[in-house]
Amino acid sequence: MSIKSLEAFKDSAALSLGVELELQLVSRRDFDLTRGATDLLGSLDYDERFGEIKLEITESMIEISTLARSTVDGIAADLGGLRDTLRQHCERNNIGVCGGGTHPFHHWPERRICPGDRFNDLYQRYGYLAKQFTVFGQHIHVGCTSADDAIWLTQALGVYVPAFIALSASSPFVDGVDSFYQSARLNAVSAFPLSGQCPPLNSWQEFTEHFAFLQACGIAQGIKDLYWDVRPKPEFGTVELRVCDTPLTIEQATSLAALAQSLSRWLLRTRPALHTAKQAHVARYNKFQACRYGLEAMISDPVNLCQIPLKQTLALLLEKISEDAKELGCAHWLDPLKQMVEENTGDAAWLRDQHNLHGNLNDVVREASERLMRKDNHRQETKK
């Protein structure tokens, strides 16, 4: 792979949003993962009015990404449109689509790397890890007006990584067994050498120097090699949050986007002290806590030297950002998250409930697939 110099940061509208969802392609016969992404895209007749539908690393994955939108409602409309387009097309090809961070029982050696130089390079470089990377995440892009703001926001959002992990956790099952984790997906990501946190950098200048250093050491060729939890994306002019599991519904994905936008506004407006060097010491531990225990995680505070229940900090956070959410017109999208925190529920718990109900994982995927395709999941749950 050739070494690419870092692109100039393309300024974008403040707090504009974009969402990418990696989705599972499953057989409608037994709900195991199936190979079909290339054929599906090859025969897709779609004008990209809601955003893109793209290949991901293996043939059992597909990625949908919205257009850049200024409002969360715009993101919701795009995700709904993309979901419906995909449903229509998958039905014609007898393929099911499903959310969730991992497929509960697929056998990773059966996965097929998608055609394309980039995917082939990844397979050659990482070997079996590339096939094990058949995990499914949600990436949220938040627009920044300057490169320095982007670096600051990258550091600031890093503190809230456990919150996003816990609220999106939807990967309790791996290889057919309950992993005891709420989000087991991130364990597959952790195996990659450039995964983890952005180092404590304070400006775009420091970031470009750090990146040049990585290139000189032969560690990274392009920005795509950095599998950081939060990273700047210069060509889009955004900060990209990469730690969320793909939720089971597009409504939950939209709520997470609303959280990212409101939180970013609050952070950029209030500019709290970041303590990046201290946070770097506890980041991995806090991430593990959120993956393992979800909302029940105990988060280490390196400034006050204590542990605080994540649920408690999340409830406070959602209160703190509510004014910003109102200003952005997305307060109604935060209500389901507040309810989640109050009731201690979530996608991982829902998947475990389905497993207890049916006693097998095939039916769990079948139910999850129907859930993704159902419209107005939030409304239906509120009625219940």
Partner 1 sequence: MIDTIISSLRAVWESLLERLFFLPPFPESIDSLALFSLLLVVGLLIGEWLHAHAKWPKVIGYVLAGILFGPSLLGWISIEALAQARPIADAALGLLMMEVGRRLDLSWLRRNPELLRSTFADITLSFAAIFIFALGLVGLTPAWAAATAAVTMASAPAVVLLTVEEARAQGQVTERIILHTAIGSAASFVAFAFVLGIVHAELSEDWLNAIVHPLWVVAGALLVGGIGTWLALSIARALPKRSLAQVFVLVACALLAVGIARMLAVPVFLTLFLMGVLLAARDQQQTLRYTELPEGHWLLAIVLFVIVGASLPWQEFTWLVGLQALGLLLVRAAAKAGALAWSGGSLPLPKRLLVGLGIQPLSATAVFMAYEIASLYPEVGRSALTLPFFAAAMMELVGPALCRLALQRSGECESGDHSRGGIA
Interface with partner 1 by CB under 8 A: which residues?
27-31, 34-36, 38-39, 42-43, 45, 59, 91-94, 110, 112-115, 119-120, 123-124, 131, 358-360, 362-363, 366
Compute the least distance from the CB of residue 45 to partner 1, in Å: 8
Tokens of 114: 């998608």
Contact 46, 53 (CB under 8 A): yes
Contact 357, 303 (CB under 8 A): no
Compute the least distance from the CB of residue 107 to partner 1, in Å: 11
Compute the least distance from the CB of residue 134 to partner 1, in Å: 12
Q: What are phi and psi of 348, to 5 degrees?
A: -65, -40
Report d(CA 304, CA 372) in Å as an integer. 41
Compute the least distance from the CB of residue 44 to partner 1, in Å: 9
Contact 1, 221 (CB under 8 A): yes
> Identity (one letter) of the amino acid at 346?
G
For partner 1, which is the closer residue by CB, 92 or 326?
A: 92
36 strand-pairing partners: none
For partner 1, which is the closer residue by CB, 301 or 363?
A: 363
Report d(CA 135, CA 185) in Å as an integer. 6
Compute the least distance from the CB of residue 251 to partner 1, in Å: 25
For partner 1, which is the closer residue by CB, 6 or 113?
A: 113
Continuous segment of H or E residues that includes residue 133: none
For partner 1, which is the closer residue by CB, 54 or 338?
A: 54
- Residue 212: partners with Cβ closer than 8 Å, 6 or more residues away: 6
Compute the least distance from the CB of residue 33 to partner 1, in Å: 9
Report d(CA 245, CA 22) in Å as an integer. 9
For partner 1, which is the closer residue by CB, 116 or 199?
A: 116
For partner 1, which is the closer residue by CB, 134 or 286?
A: 134
Tokens of 242: 């990469």
